[in-house]
Structure 1
Amino acid sequence: MDSLPLEILLEVGKSVPPRQRPRLLRVCRAWTTLFTPLVYSSLDLTGSQIAPLVQSIKDKPSLAPRIKHLTMSALGSSAELKGRAIEKSTWQVPFIKTLMADRREPELARMWRNGLAELNGDFWAAVLLFFLHGLETLRIEPVRGSWTRNVIMLAFMHRPPFASADRPGPRNLKKLEFLQGPTNELLVLEQDLFGFLRLPNLKSVHVRGAITPRSVEPITPPKPNGVESITLEAKWTGAPFAMPHHIKVCTKLKSFSFTNTLANEEDGPRDCMLREHFFKPLAESQKENLELLDLNYRGIAYDDIFDPAEDRGEMHDSEPYDRFMGSFRDFKNLKDLAVRAPNLCDIRFTTMDDAKLLTPLVDVLPRSIENLSISFTVSIQLDPVFTGLSQLLAARDQFPSLKSVTVAYQSVDGRIMMYARHSERTIQLESEVYGFGYADHDGDDPDDHFNNPHFLYTLAGQEWAAEMAAAEAEARRRAGGGSRANAPGAGVSPASFASADDPGDWDDHDECTGLWTNPTVVFLFATNQFSQHHATFTSAYPRPSSQIVMHLPREIIRLIGEALEPNERPKLLLVCRRWRSTLSKLVYSAVELQGCQIPFFVHSIEDRPKAFSRVKELTLPNRASVPTAMKWRTPEDPTWIDRQMARFADSMDQSTIEEWREDLLRKGNNEWAALLISLLRKLVVLHIEPLRPEIVRRVLYLAGTRQPPFDKKKALHKLEKIAFLLLEHVDLCPDQDLFMFFSLPSIRSIHVRGRIDPALEIEAKPPPRTKIEEIRLDLQWSEPFGLPAYIRSCENLKRFSFTNQYNQEERAPDDCDFRTEFYEPLLSQKHNLEVLDLNYRGTAYDDLYDLQDGQEERFLAHHVDPDYDRWMGSFAGFECLKELSIRAPNLLDIRVDRTAATDSALRTALSECLPRSLECLSISITASAQLRAVSQGLIGVSDARYENVSQFPNLRKVTVAFQTDDGRVKCDPRHARVMEGLKSHFRSVDLEFEIIALKIPGRYLSYHKMGSIYDVPEEEDERSPEMWDSDWEPDINDVMTEEFLDSVNYDFDAYVDMCWAEIERVHGP
């Protein structure tokens, strides 16, 4: 550790987020000495950390000048610090007196004292600013911003306690972010925005809050200032305020951003107000300076109400009104522009559902533009936008610096919704603007299979690719290698960074790898920087950092790749060629593809057979929706598809092949997934969730049964783990979707989800002997389907899980069916089984009879078999079982008698039914009537372990779960008291006990909440008429208000007393 270069250690420290950096000080003394200046130079604090820091600064004043950058969030009261010794008598009272020296406001002084005593983060944040004289950057997210706001303004105005020269306070701030949240706190513009603009050294200000007529006060005439960046996020209803005057007096304004954060268009400002308050003053005074402009790109306006076709006529036929801001042509240095479509484009609506562009977009944009972002709210705006972008493409030579164009759709759920004709236009435009080829491609590297630009474009996105190309070109220019265009996939060779600062080839520094064996360090280093694009990294740190990135030892690069999820790893291939050659095998070993990434991936490796053999793990998750921007941009080549289809001529009929071919040409994701699976020869893990499983099922079945074309080239012969997950309502064919996998030679784990049609005829075949170790079934099932024989065929089954996913009990099977279908065949695995889940989260038909009336009908009536019960049987013979998850009526031998239909006891002790090897026991409860039997059984288990530790020597945890429809634990107060008693009892014998809720949507259950009555759905009132008589004596539960019940504790006696007190209050003594 001591031999590590200091450059590496410092880069590790810089890559760790400021909030996590204090942990580095605890590694060793050398790290404490090295990282102390770095940690204190940039602090990221929450409310609970501020008061201890203030105390530390009071004890050691030399810490204060080191703090240059400060972030404070999650303020408010710090309850976790209550009771901690924070001295106040020595300095807090004098501080408050000094603060209030020239003001006679005893009420304000009292609020300060109370706020500090209650450890309120807002007050302590203001106190911290009092001590920080050299602060340059401040980001604060106050709950109430008045206290920190006042301290900042007092420092600026040289008011006490900042009147003396030796206590300037935060007067030297260069960057200030004052973010009241969540955008609801009222902004006092004279102080929160315009007051901040008067700070003498301020360069950047970012303010968030609400602007209403109440916040618009008399404004002090603005004075010229040197602010370079203004960002305003405000809930603004359109009330005029003095923003134009303050914009005009900025002498060096380079960046301006405004976002209206209102959620309702009806309360928003008109677009003409945005033009008057922001665009016009910017055009008049800042057109020579401005480099970045964001005019409500992510916000709303009142005029959005009239965007639908039926409302547009009302708006635009009544008056000659438009939303066009004006031309940006005169902004000579503007590089980044983000604006809404109706504000950027001069649009006129010709009909109720059509529009045209009056002023060409090329006449509106400045020549210096590099990044253009346009947002629109309805797809009708797309036609003029696309017209303008096509004009921009045709006049590309007029905009030599243009790198990226983003068209964003404002939607509530993040999805893009538009008409088909607009989608086709989008695809055409993307193909014309971005294309698929990159310059300076150095050829085909055998270990570099992600060079295919289709796949790079899909994973990285056009903005990332453009920015990274520019960053690498700039790096080459600095190193003397010219400014030629560089492809995102081509990278930069390490030699191109040779300079006096170059640390050399670090591949020989084997001692560096010791640091990276720490997974935490690797994870922080990887996720903080290397999962982002290269441009961000090189802009955040000086040039030597990029050299370190390029020259990291290959072992470190591999560890960084392994620390990321498979779907994040391809981004690392874009750092440079060295990273790509190092991580190529790792990226290919585990691939996760979304939507149209599947055909891109197939094309990227179709001519490289070696690449197919490298894919060991393939994950194709649910692809219910694919963003329009990810659709295909070029027509498919039918020749290659025809060659692939010819392979299946002997195993599929012509109509199926033709339908599959047409779906491939239409870019169907399920069909491309099936084709990809047929090409992979050494697949070990497959996880697939097809929306339409027909062709995927067919290909898997042909591969599993070794039918052509898999009779000569095997596809699944090395498959060890399969997850074939259908939607819950999609029919699953057991022969093809489950039992077929048992015949695969290397299979060890099977996970299947779907619905089994009870009318489906299943062909019974003798199963082969198999070495399967894990079976997991999530099924909607009501009739036996032949599983027992396949369970018995397993030679070494270690984990078995079954969940019946029917939410309605009347469609679920009887508990006796579970016994014959699962428990009895699992007895053949009692010498192997380690983990067993028998419908722990599922339902059964017998759940309908959990109420007292149902039990009397089902179990107590004379015509019903008196020996019928729901008990599975004893698990004591499962000698290796470590984890058991099961429903209470299936685990406990309960007998319901006529006298105690709801609270019946056990006939067989639970301790006699559990195996000696058990470590974790989980019991789910379907009705509160089962709680007495559960508690009786669990107490017996704990007593047996207490009396004889050898009976359950490994038992460490017991979980009781309540099946509910909303994820809340529900039982009446007396049962809640039983649960709390069980928890105390298990704690006394050193066993962990947990009460949880299992959310099963759609289920109607008869529980009550812990300590309060559950509001069941309204039904027909079945109470007797005499309940409404004046002399009727109410039941306790009938007069409980929700507010009263929320205050009830778990003490049953106290609960009864409070109930009677409430009855007397409502109905009299």
Structure 2
Amino acid sequence: MMFEDLPPEILHLVSHHLNNNDIFHLICLSRRLYTIIQQNLYAEVFLCGRNHSSQQVVTFLYAVTRDPRLASYVRCLWLGDWDCGDGIIHLDKAELDSGYLLKLVSERTGYSEEERSKWLKDLEKGDDCDPWLALLILQLKDLRKILINWAYDAKYVLDMLRKAAREQEPVFRHLEEVYATWWDDTEGSIPSHRMTSFFSFPSVRKVGCCCLGEDYDSDDDEYDSDNYDSDDSIHLRLEVPLPQSSNITHLDLANSNAGNGMRDWVQACKVLKSFRLIHHGTLGRGRLYESLSLHKTTLESVWAEPDEGVYIEEQDDWMGSFADFPVLKTICLLVPNLVGFDENKRPMRKLLDVLPHSLETLYLIINREGNGLLDAMEQLVELASAEKFPNLAAIHIEARGIQSPKSHSKLQGTKRACEEAGKSFFIHGGEGFFTYCDKPTSWVFGPVNEATLLGYY
């Protein structure tokens, strides 16, 4: 049997295991293959990445506007570094259809004539991708997931999202996941107000960010000037206020600063199920606990830890008790954030008293040797055998900077005692969450924050 004679269902299954380049070559073999598999070619679109030119944005825009069926196929859109490559779109007369562009711009609602005129001029000028991307994204109304590597001066895309968020009828009614990072991973961060619009789209359930800087309050003494994006004025931040009933259930922030505990974001969520923060030096632990306490009855996972290379010697203050979080299953925290340390670096509280009965997985980060470590190990043995935690199945210890033979011996002894009590026990070393595991193969706990992958495309 010839390959192209296979049933459509089989061809679809095969194409799901191929990359876009292979699918493209496959659909060129025959009209039947083109008809059957074309939809999969457009399901995941990559633009502006390392191996993609700015010119592709123009070509793709014309393709999906002249054949809207193609736009309906797109489920996932990756926007790489907008400033990569030449950064300039070279347009010849054959490509630049001013009349057609005028038609597309005129169809956009919420824009004044002056705004439309400027948009058209910037499209024709071809200085950068921003005005083209803003026009393109609006065509992809069946998107399920979008990944954005925010350019510093992304004015058109930002304004388009703000206007879309104000529409009475949802513009992106199927969008479920949003991931974003900052265009320059060496300095600066995404001002958190750039993500505000996504809280207004009714189907969005997960927001993941890398290199996010929480917007500051002008009266906040903990304001970090590195987080402030001076190009975005305050009135623009307030143009699309955060809703108080967003359907987002998962917030996942990597390499980010949250000095105000992300209260605006957390408070905007109607039902928050998971919160993960790998913070980059600024973390208001008391404020974060206050924010998370707004969702005591729904939170299933709480994760807060310093990013690699962050100095954590001063991160010893207590966050608060999680004993009254009735459905909380997973906790990852520094030991002192969970039990508090006194002036002698000894635990001030017992794990038994600050953990919820619903707990299934506990991940503790230890960053110093001494009596505090020994006391924490004793508490883990007690925890493993306690009947008040019937669902507790796994305990993980990330030991940062633990070097003495005595400490290693104590860790191994605790591991044996916990395993004898029927609990899985893992010891991890190095930086980052679940990066190094004492199992034969390393593994990563929980879903990957896809915002951290954007720099590779």
Tell me, in whole angstroms, the C-alpha distance in 2 between the residues paired with 1:745 and 1:882. 27
Tell me, in whole angstroms, the C-alpha distance in 2 between the residues paired with 1:910 and 1:751. 30
Deviations 1:531-557 (A, max 9, x none): xxxxxxxxxxxxxxxx2x222222211
Deviation at 1:732, TM superposition (A): 3.1
Contact 2:399 2:428 in 1 (8 A): yes
Pairing 1:360-759 to 2, within 5 Å after superposition: 503=1, 547=2, 549-564=3-18, 569-593=23-47, 594=49, 595-596=52-53, 597-622=56-81, 625-626=84-85, 636-639=95-98, 640-647=100-107, 651=111, 654=114, 658=118, 661-662=121-122, 665-666=125-126, 668-692=128-152, 693-706=154-167, 714-727=170-183, 728=185, 729-735=187-193, 737-753=194-210, 754-756=212-214, 758=223
Tell me, in whole angstroms, the C-alpha distance in 2 between the residues paired with 1:743 and 1:581. 36
Deviations 1:5-63 (A, max 9, x none): xxxxxxxxxxxxxxxxxxxxxxxxxxxxxxxxxxxxxxxxxxxxxxxxxxxxxxxxxxx
Deviation at 1:715, TM superposition (A): 2.5
Partner letter of residue 603 of structure 1?
A: Y
Tell me, in whole angstroms, the C-alpha distance in 1 between the residues paired with 2:326 and 2:148. 35
For 1:826, the equivalent position in structure 2 comes to: 292
Contact 1:916 1:953 in 2 (8 A): yes
For 2:348, the equivalent position in structure 1 comes to: 907
For 2:249, the equivalent position in structure 1 comes to: 773
Deviations 1:809-835 (A, max 9, x none): xxx34xxx2222x21121231221112
Contact 1:945 1:953 in 2 (8 A): no
- Bigger fraction of residues in helix: 1
Deviation at 1:743, TM superposition (A): 2.1
Quick check: 1:958 aligned with 2:395?
A: yes
Contact 1:767 1:789 in 2 (8 A): no
**CA 1:607 to 1:907, structure 2 compared with 1: closer, same or farther past 3 Å?**
same
**CA 1:973 to 1:715, structure 2 compared with 1: closer, same or farther past 3 Å?**
same
Partner letter of residue 304 of structure 2?
A: L
Deviations 1:934-956 (A, max 9, x none): 4533442333432x4x4223323
Partner letter of residue 914 of structure 1?
A: L
Deviation at 1:871, TM superposition (A): 0.7
**CA 1:550 to 1:780, structure 2 compared with 1: closer, same or farther past 3 Å?**
closer
Contact 2:252 2:277 in 1 (8 A): yes
* Structure 2 portions without partners, runs of 5+: 216-222, 229-233, 433-457
What's the secondary structure of 2:11's corresponding residue?
helix
With normalisation by structure 2, the TM-score equals 0.75
Tell me, in whole angstroms, the C-alpha distance in 1 between the residues paired with 2:274 and 2:358. 15
Partner letter of residue 943 of structure 1?
A: E
**CA 1:894 to 1:558, structure 2 compared with 1: closer, same or farther past 3 Å?**
same
Quick check: 1:933 aligned with 2:393?
A: no
Contact 1:599 1:672 in 2 (8 A): yes
Contact 2:273 2:301 in 1 (8 A): yes
For 1:971, the equivalent position in structure 2 comes to: 403
For CA contacts below 8 A with separation 6 or more, give which structure has more relative contact order.
2
Deviation at 1:972, TM superposition (A): 3.4
Deviation at 1:840, TM superposition (A): 5.0
Partner letter of residue 368 of structure 2?
A: S
Contact 1:791 1:825 in 2 (8 A): yes
Pairing 1:281-292 to 2, within 5 Å after superposition: none
Tell me, in whole angstroms, the C-alpha distance in 2 between the residues paired with 1:895 and 1:774. 34
Which range moves more in the overlay, 716-725 or 985-994?
A: 985-994
Contact 1:742 1:768 in 2 (8 A): no
Tell me, in whole angstroms, the C-alpha distance in 1 between the residues paired with 2:254 and 2:279. 6
2:327 aligns with one of 870, 873, 880: 880
1:919 aligns with one of 360, 370, 375: 360
Deviation at 1:843, TM superposition (A): 8.1
Quick check: 1:945 aligned with 2:399?
A: no
Deviation at 1:870, TM superposition (A): 0.6
Deviation at 1:677, TM superposition (A): 0.7
Contact 1:834 1:882 in 2 (8 A): yes
Tell me, in whole angstroms, the C-alpha distance in 2 between the residues paired with 1:828 and 1:649. 37
For 2:304, the equivalent position in structure 1 comes to: 838
With normalisation by structure 1, the TM-score equals 0.35
What's the secondary structure of 2:136's corresponding residue?
helix
Partner letter of residue 940 of structure 1?
A: Q
Tell me, in whole angstroms, the C-alpha distance in 1 between the residues paired with 2:36 and 2:417. 56
What's the secondary structure of 1:804's corresponding residue?
strand
The alignment covers a number of residue pairs equal to 403
Quick check: 1:794 aligned with 2:226?
A: no
For 2:419, the equivalent position in structure 1 comes to: 987
Partner letter of residue 76 of structure 2?
A: E
Contact 2:357 2:388 in 1 (8 A): yes
